[in-house]
Amino acid sequence: FGGGVRMRGRADRRGKTVVHQLSVSLEDLYNGTTRKLSLQKNIICRKCGGCGVREGAQRRCPKCHGSGMEVRIHQLGPSMIQQIQTVCSQCQGQGEWIRPRDCCLTCNGRKVVREKKILSVHLDKGMKDGQKITFHEEGDQVPGLEPGDIIIVLDQKEHPVFRRSGDDLIVKREISLADALCGCRQVIRTLDNRTLLISSQPGDVIRPGDLKCVPNEGMPVYRSPFQKGKLIVQFQVKFPEPGWLPTDRLRQLQAFFPPQEEVMATEETEEVELSDYTSQGGPGRRSYTGEAYHEDDFEEGSRQHVQCQTS
């Protein structure tokens, strides 16, 4: 139990911890950088040394004699009195009372003054959103207490191209149907301004939502900057608009695809036509307000199992 008392006592002798948010870009976390953060903090007055009075002036409260408490006596009867101990009304329990003429001219008796502080915040490669950087004893100074800490919390801004998932980077790419079937070539500009040319082999069909990856082109691993995660490319295939090809040309195109499975129709078979689906419910129909699927579903589950094949 003694150890707990010591820890609590030490905490009581420390000033408050101050938390600041620092907005950073994904490029900052990828490349590493140093940011300057300007703060205002209290420091102990250098003129009076934190006592709040000019040299030689009286600091002890004359009413409570420095105890911070005063005793009030109430007459309850001819031979009965009651003593009540209360906080000193003159010094408000501080035990010190400074006459206005005795105040330090620099801090006006407040014992501390405001000062501008510039912190150099070093961002290591691979740091994450929400990560904390602590500057020990850089908080406000209070006479008789150890300075508190300043904690910087990183707040990553949304990136227009890449999205981070741990040490991996995810980028979306839209390709045409021809590229999906016959092979595609795409250029990706990295966060350190390199240019990557990614390509798929002809005949290696890319389906909508397919995930491909490039090893060692993701985020640097924190404190192991020469190791990187994966660059995951999520493909979206843009299909042609209806009527893009005449019917006779469609038959020619169909000849290049595997034969269609023959569907046997019987007398009981009822043939219907498909039409475009809309989420607007009509009379007697159920209205669906949600999507049938969410494009980011893989992020919480399947993305954790994305692996790059290596030769």
**For 15-30, what is each residue's pLDDT tens digit?**
899 999 999 999 999 9
Asked, for residue 118, whether it belongs to a domain, the answer is yes
Asked, for residue 216, whether it belongs to a domain, the answer is yes
CA dist 182 to 171, 172, 204, 206, Å?
21, 19, 7, 9
Answer yes or no: do 33 and 122 share one domain: yes
Last residue of a domain, one of 184, 210, 242: 242
Answer yes or no: do 238 and 169 share one domain: yes
User: What's the total number of domains in the chain?
Assistant: 3
Asked, for residue 166, whether it belongs to a domain, the answer is yes
Burial profile 269-302: b = 16 or more Cβ within 10 angstroms, e = fewer: eeeeeeeeeeeeeeeeeeeeeeeeeeeeebeeee
pLDDT at 296: 54
pLDDT at 293: 44
- Residues with pLDDT less than 70, the chain: 1-12, 56, 58, 280-311
CATH classification of the domain holding 133? 2.60.260.20
pLDDT at 179: 94
Last residue of a domain, one of 224, 242, 260: 242
Answer yes or no: do 29 and 89 share one domain: no
Task: Report residue 190 as tokens.
Answer: 């990295």
How many Å apart are CA 200 and CA 182, to the nearest integer? Answer: 9
**Structural domain of residue 82, as residue ranges?**
69-97
How many Å apart are CA 181 and CA 163, to the nearest integer? Answer: 27
Last residue of a domain, one of 201, 222, 242: 242
Answer yes or no: do 33 and 89 share one domain: no
pLDDT at 310: 54
Asked, for residue 194, whether it belongs to a domain, the answer is yes
pLDDT at 147: 94
Answer yes or no: do 196 and 78 share one domain: no
Asked, for residue 301, whether it belongs to a domain, the answer is no
Asked, for residue 280, whether it belongs to a domain, the answer is no
pLDDT at 191: 98
Answer yes or no: do 230 and 184 share one domain: yes
Share of the chain above pLDDT 90, in %: 50
Asked, for residue 287, whether it belongs to a domain, the answer is no
pLDDT at 10: 53
How many Å apart are CA 148 and CA 137, to the nearest integer? Answer: 5
Q: Which amino acid appears at position 236 of this protein?
A: Q
How many Å apart are CA 230 and CA 217, to the nearest integer? Answer: 5
Asked, for residue 204, whether it belongs to a domain, the answer is yes
Q: Which single residue is written with the structure tokens 């420095």?
A: 66
Quote the pTM value.
0.72
Q: What are the pLDDT digits (tens) for 105-132? A: 899 888 999 999 999 999 999 999 999 9
